[in-house]
Amino acid sequence: MPENIAPPTEERIAYLEGLVSQARIAAAVFTQFTQEDVDRIVKPMVVAGLEQAQHLARLAVEETRLGVMEDKAIKNMVATEFVYNYVRDKRTVGCIREFPESGLVEMAEPIGVIFSLTPITNPTSTVLFKCIMAIKTRNAMVFSPHPNAWRCCAEAVRIMYETALKHGAPEGVFTCIEAPTLPDNAYLMKHKDVRLVDATGGRGASRAAYSSGKPALGVGSGNTPVYLEKTADLDMAVVDIITSKTFDNGTICASEQTVVIDDEIYDRALQKFAELGVHICNEAETELLGHTVIDPVKGQMQPMAVGQKATDIARLIGIRVKPHTKLLIAPIQGVGREYPLSVEKLFPVLAVCRAHSVDEALKLCVDVNHQGGLGHTAVIFSRNDEIIRRFGEVINAGRIIVNSPGAIGALGGVYNDLVPTFSFGCGTGGGNSTMDNVNVYHYLNVKRVARRTQPHMWFRVPNQIYFDMNSVENLREFPSRSTLIVTNQALEQIGHVDIVRRALPAQTMVRVLRIPDAEPEVKVVMHGVEALNSYAADQIVALGGGSVIDAAKLMKLKYEFPEADLEELAAPFLDIRKRVVQFPTVKTNQARLIAISTTSGTGSEVTPFAVMTDKARGRKVTLADYSLSPDVAIVDPQFVMSMPKGLTADTGVDCLTHALEAGVSVFASPYTDSNAMQAIRLVFKYLPIAYENPRDEEARTMVHNAACIAALAFSNASVGVNHALAHAFGARFGVAHGRANALMLPHVIAYNAAVPTKFRPSPRQRAYVAHKKYAMIADLLGLGGNTIEEKIQNLIAATEQLLDRLGMPRSIAELGISHEAFERELPELAKIAFDDPSWRTNPRMPLISELTDLFRSAYRGRGPAPETGRPQQQSEVEVCV
């Protein structure tokens, strides 16, 4: 609608306002109606439409002088009966669809007042269709028919309105503008109470609708290409094309416009057309047609030809045809402006074009499609599924009709299961918001009620865990042809490797791979993979602390999946179930991984994690996937009896951190809690004893078990912000992991126990409970306290006491790191910690500034070590476990 259209007169505006006012009230009142109410109204409307189909068709032809009365009657019946058949059982009020498995419910919200433009080509059928849609969806509609079809449309609206009113519809639900004008349309398209502009018609109406600034449903013209492929059922194709192209004298915009015919069947096809009453134009006639029925300036069809009979068109331009000629076929040599007849022709003139190959045919169809037909309709006649598929791929059309008439096929419900419609969406190619056959769902706002869903949790652990003194003997139960023991030199020197070697079945060929005792680099992993390949190993025994076991996990991964990219697999993720990078699943080799831990901390023998050093970027990266979990874990304390005091303390603190973090994790569950709490209890009771009396077998056993039990917890509940901080700090300053954890631990407990600045979005988190969990731990340890706050303070004090007793540094400063150096690194440390996946399950979502503050707290530490070894300003807490 051009912007420069003069506004309607005041009197006319008052008239239009009256229509909208009625519709606005009707739409508001309509919101109270139930599904049963609207269905009770729709059915008699449909019956009324059917009863009046012929009457309305006659009026339409008389007024518009377009089309065929009988065909228009059929269209009116399709618009009522077929549409009703589709909508009768559709829910359009209240809850319209439910997805119990995903907790989603879709609810219908009516639009309100719809301003609807209807075309001259299908006037009454479009009105009948839209009236049914409007009532079914509880909307009010103001109709603006094509100016040359308004009387028949007004009659169709009257019939629908009176029937609807009689059966309970609100007054004013349909109104129709008398003698509508462009100014009327321009005024109403921008009316504040019009909620949707629904324009069915030409491209102009559609563009005006979209440029009105209102939500719009504008659907427009097409230019349907047809590919008549050589394998087609030719008799059927010819009849279908004639049926479609002559239906209502070709006024349906989905009707065939240019038929591209394979060379092999071209002559035969034209002969068949001719036999069935089609006039095949000669070259001169084709040229004449092109210059007369197509506007040479605009390159568009002449309105005077639209909807006229073939014989009338022929007579008008001076072509002699037989009396009952149905259709004029004009052979053209190509598609484009130089071939005028290759455009849309809503009258019984059909262009045909010969193609010498499938490729040429498809290209010609693409050309037609792009000459005003984008997004609309296309037709193919073929028995070759591959060619049909290719046609579907290259043609941009909302309806690709196969082996059926285009016009009636696109209407839906007659030749196929497309949704019956009188409004064809043409997608963005046609400048439309939808490519669908417009139906009830386009006249509704669909509200989605989304219930909280909680992802299912898991508790995954290795198949077999052997524990207690000499449990390594269980290795005998695992037959192996070739076993690679991955360990480090120190463990071999103290005889641990020999113990393992003796425990393996006698027939096993055993090789030993010694690796550095540090988080593995890629080159170490690849060295192991070479060994596994050269020995064709079917079993890996990882004997060592976390680094060795992690290295063995990565070796097994690369051995079984040579294509796996460790760097890529270490990509960050927020939720392990939705991670972008997936671990591979198709194994090439198969090797059992048995992990025997020689420290009591990481629990790597049961975890699905592997920490790898990225030296180039000065960081540690964690790979996480349950496929990394060892197949068998052996928790034999004989391997930790000789562990040095410092290592006992470091690894023990790591174990405690695992348990504490799993305990407050947002992924914590009753399954992980039971393990986390037991591990905390064992650490507080036995770690000081194992540290002070390394040969105490019971204490060693219990701490070793605690490490594994804590790992079972954090394998499933994960860890938290303490680990993120420790990873970043440890990697940058070369501080042992347990020690780095110890520096952060009291500060992190205090941090997590406070009210978060920011809650971490997690459906698992039903309440903020971290402070209560800490209090529960304090109770478990018998630390006393009357309030949650007191209990938390007692837990922090007990933790600090334990750390002091284990000789842990009290601050980062105590490690000899200068304040300047630390502050210099701090921004990067905080960023690295934020990228660390460890905190993703932390109960409190850390802000970068908070991570920075935590690092600073750890730098300042928990005050100078008191002579008593107790933290200052804390009362001594007795641990009762």
- Considering the complex, state which of residue 108 and residue 484 has its C-beta at the smaller distance from another protein: 108
- Considering the complex, state which of residue 14 and residue 179 has its C-beta at the smaller distance from another protein: 14
| Contact range with another protein by CB under 8 A, out of 27-35, 586-594, 653-661, 685-693 | 27-35
- Considering the complex, state which of residue 31 and residue 489 has its C-beta at the smaller distance from another protein: 31
Q: Which sequence positions are flagged as catalytic?
A: 253
Q: Is 601 in the site for another protein (CB under 8 A)?
A: no
A 10 A CB-CB count for 35 gives 17
- Considering the complex, state which of residue 193 and residue 287 has its C-beta at the smaller distance from another protein: 193
- Considering the complex, state which of residue 27 and residue 197 has its C-beta at the smaller distance from another protein: 27
Q: Is 29 in the site for another protein (CB under 8 A)?
A: yes
Distance CA 855, CA 136 (A): 63
| Contact range with another protein by CB under 8 A, out of 166-174, 349-357, 384-392, 652-660 | 166-174
| Contact range with another protein by CB under 8 A, out of 26-34, 365-373, 504-512, 640-648 | 26-34
β-partners of residue 592 are: 539
Contact by Cβ (8 Å): 556, 566: no
In residues, how long is the chain? 881
Closest approach, Cβ 198 to another protein, in A, equals: 19
Planar angle of CA 764, 770, 774, nearest 5 degrees? 140
Tokens 């914590």 belong to residue: 668
- Contacting another protein (CB under 8 A), which of 7, 18, 31, 876? 31
Site string for another protein, 90-119 (x = CB under 8 A): ----------------------x-------
Contact by Cβ (8 Å): 589, 626: no
Closest approach, Cβ 22 to another protein, in A, equals: 7
- Contacting another protein (CB under 8 A), which of 19, 26, 66, 802? 26
Contact by Cβ (8 Å): 516, 524: yes
Beta sheet of 216-219, edge-to-edge order: 174-176, 140-145, 113-118, 194-200, 216-219
| 34-37: long-range pairs with CB below 8 Å, 24+ | 34/93, 34/94, 35/91, 35/92, 35/93, 35/94, 37/93, 37/168
- Considering the complex, state which of residue 26 and residue 623 has its C-beta at the smaller distance from another protein: 26
Q: Is 522 in the site for another protein (CB under 8 A)?
A: no
- Considering the complex, state which of residue 33 and residue 210 has its C-beta at the smaller distance from another protein: 33
Site string for another protein, 120-159 (x = CB under 8 A): ----------------------------------------
Sign of CA dihedral 517, 519, 520, 521: negative
A 10 A CB-CB count for 193 gives 17
| Contact range with another protein by CB under 8 A, out of 21-29, 149-157, 741-749, 809-817 | 21-29
- Considering the complex, state which of residue 112 and residue 413 has its C-beta at the smaller distance from another protein: 112
- Considering the complex, state which of residue 38 and residue 259 has its C-beta at the smaller distance from another protein: 38
- Considering the complex, state which of residue 14 and residue 821 has its C-beta at the smaller distance from another protein: 14
- Contacting another protein (CB under 8 A), which of 2, 3, 10, 32? 32
Show contacts with another protein in window 810-839 (CB under 8 A). none
Task: Give me the DSSP letters along 743-805.
Answer: HHHHHHHHHHHSPPSSBPP-TT-SS--HHHHHHHHHHHTT---SSHHHHHHHHHHHHHHHHHH
**C-alpha dihedral (629, 632, 635, 639), degrees to nearest 10:** -100
- Contacting another protein (CB under 8 A), which of 5, 13, 25, 274? 25
**C-alpha dihedral (82, 232, 253, 432), degrees to nearest 10:** 90
Distance CA 259, CA 379 (A): 9
- Considering the complex, state which of residue 173 and residue 278 has its C-beta at the smaller distance from another protein: 173
Closest approach, Cβ 140 to another protein, in A, equals: 10
Q: Which amino acid is at 361?
A: A
Q: Report residue 443 as tokens.
A: 């006249």
Q: Report residue 293 as tokens.
A: 């029925």
- Contacting another protein (CB under 8 A), which of 13, 28, 280, 581? 28
Closest approach, Cβ 444 to another protein, in A, equals: 16
Which residue, among 433, 420, 377, has the nearest Cα to 130 in the 3D structure? 420
| Contact range with another protein by CB under 8 A, out of 11-19, 20-28, 455-463, 654-662 | 20-28
Closest approach, Cβ 138 to another protein, in A, equals: 12
Q: Is 172 in the site for another protein (CB under 8 A)?
A: yes
H or E element at residue 204? helix 203-211
Contact by Cβ (8 Å): 708, 603: yes
Closest approach, Cβ 112 to another protein, in A, equals: 7
| Contact range with another protein by CB under 8 A, out of 28-36, 94-102, 596-604, 858-866 | 28-36
Contact by Cβ (8 Å): 295, 302: yes
- Considering the complex, state which of residue 172 and residue 290 has its C-beta at the smaller distance from another protein: 172
Q: Is 24 in the site for another protein (CB under 8 A)?
A: yes
Q: Is 170 in the site for another protein (CB under 8 A)?
A: yes
Cα 877 to chain centroid distance, Å, stands at: 52
Closest approach, Cβ 175 to another protein, in A, equals: 12
Contact by Cβ (8 Å): 122, 105: no
- Considering the complex, state which of residue 24 and residue 840 has its C-beta at the smaller distance from another protein: 24
| Contact range with another protein by CB under 8 A, out of 168-176, 318-326, 448-456, 723-731 | 168-176
Burial call 451-476: b when 16+ CB within 10 Å, e when fewer: eeeeeeeeeebbeebbbeeebbebbe
| Contact range with another protein by CB under 8 A, out of 48-56, 170-178, 579-587, 650-658 | 170-178
Closest approach, Cβ 572 to another protein, in A, equals: 47
Site string for another protein, 54-93 (x = CB under 8 A): ----------------------------------------
Q: Is 704 in the site for another protein (CB under 8 A)?
A: no
Q: Which amino acid is at 444?
A: L
- Contacting another protein (CB under 8 A), which of 1, 16, 22, 488? 22
Closest approach, Cβ 171 to another protein, in A, equals: 5
3-state secondary structure of 621: strand
Contact by Cβ (8 Å): 474, 466: yes
- Contacting another protein (CB under 8 A), which of 1, 19, 27, 656? 27
Closest approach, Cβ 441 to another protein, in A, equals: 22
Tokens 């113990």 belong to residue: 499
Closest approach, Cβ 106 to another protein, in A, equals: 19
Closest approach, Cβ 169 to another protein, in A, equals: 10
Q: Report residue 575 as tokens.
A: 């939720």
Show contacts with another protein in window 387-406 (CB under 8 A). none
C-alpha to C-alpha distances, 421 to 95, 128, 162, 219, nearest whole angstrom: 24, 11, 23, 12
| Contact range with another protein by CB under 8 A, out of 164-172, 244-252, 616-624, 693-701 | 164-172
Please work out the total of residues on this chain that contact another protein, with binding judged by CB under 8 A: 13
Contact by Cβ (8 Å): 246, 348: yes
Q: Is 576 in the site for another protein (CB under 8 A)?
A: no
Cα maximum dimension of the chain:
120
Q: Is 861 in the site for another protein (CB under 8 A)?
A: no
A 10 A CB-CB count for 309 gives 18
Site of interaction with another protein (CB under 8 A): 22, 24-29, 31-32, 112, 170-172
